[in-house]
A = this chain, B = another copy of it.
């Protein structure tokens, strides 16, 4: 095998990264042609199939569009359908600064239903973090996260107002978040939720309950979120 890999990283991932970097650095804009398969293969000293593999994954992720007979092009600014992203990442991808207020961060017990969602025994200790998300100095979401305290009790001391929960988990705890299953429905604002979101009671809210799993399919976070309806909608892509 040619020494196309610097360390243990597969060559096709290095190629993806190099293309992604060019897009991120605005050297390539939507619609611009990406180096062709043959070109990438040559540049990286790699076989054609390997360069193809890299582009195939970028295409599947929607980063790039391939037009047979014509070339490979940077995909138009896509809405990130069905993409698991933290609030920080979502805001960042729109060039906005996230603002978060932590309402509560402590360890709770005897929440059997939540423990069950996390696959924990009934009396499992749980980290509970309640945050209000702001945009334009106005609250628009209330998100309550629950995590197993056995692994993540240290989170209660992390300054989550300015640190991303996703980033902390991935960087400091070595957790690789992989996917989430969400249940979406509609409710109306009441009591504490109405108060924290600063909306009249009776206003419609989108409620999203999600379980986020790590790459080994273990539940890591259970999140219940309430979103002001006129400020937030959810985009989903379904395929047949």
Contact = CB atoms under 8 A, between A and B. Distances in A.
Contacts of A203: 188
B184 A234 contact: yes
Interface string A167-205: 000000000011111111111100000000000001111
Q: How many copies of the chain does the oligomer comprise?
A: 2
A185 B237 contact: no
A60 interface: yes
Contacts of A85: 238, 240
B239 A178 contact: yes
A9 interface: no
A57 to B, nearest CB: 10
Contacts of A177: 240
Interface of A: 49, 60, 79, 81-85, 177-188, 202-207, 227, 229-230, 232-240
